[in-house]
Amino acid sequence: MQADNVVSLRPIERVRQDGEPIATIYRNLGTDSAEQVVTRALGELALTMAGLAHQVRAHELADLTRQLRRLQRMAENLGMVSLGLVACDVRNCLDQGDSTAFAAVWARLIRIAERSLASDKDLLDQSLI
């Protein structure tokens, strides 16, 4: 068997963000307090994503819809438009019982999370994949 004609595809996701929610937090709280709030919120979002990844790997899908809704709200509150939309898409696939679509959209959520949350891809890979 020859592997010369095998191509590995790795889609690069375009991430949409809205800076207004973060700007509002900074306007309302001031720089020091806002930095703490945003840092804590980003940490919670990353932990939620890692928890979701653990659930999916363990095939524990019972509570996944609720956790995806939580991730969507958190992302929207931070202006992470793409992350929130894809979390909603994953939830819809799960609700429809479409395992093939779920797997594809879940992979997309991981890619969006990588681009949205991590400046160091290796750090995110350790917790998500």
Domain-wise residue ranges, the chain:
20-128
The pLDDT of residue 15 is above 90: no
Q: What is the CA radius of gyration of the chain?
A: 16
Buried b (16+ CB within 10 A) or exposed e, 106-128: bebbbbbbbbbbeeeeeebeebb
Decide which of 26 and 5 is more confident. Answer: 26
Looking at the chain, the whole-number percentage of residues with pLDDT higher than 70 is 88
The pLDDT, as a whole number, for residue 12 is 73
The pLDDT of residue 129 is above 60: no
For residue range 26-79, list pLDDT tens digits in order: 999 999 999 999 999 999 999 999 999 999 999 998 899 999 999 999 999 999
Structure tokens of 129?
A: 């994949």
**C-alpha of 111 from chain center:** 8
DSSP state of 37: H
DSSP letters spanning 54-111: HHHHTT--TTHHHHHHHHHHHHHHTT-HHHHHHHHHHHHHHHHT-HHHHHHHHHHHHH
The pLDDT of residue 126 is above 60: no
Mean pLDDT of the chain: 87
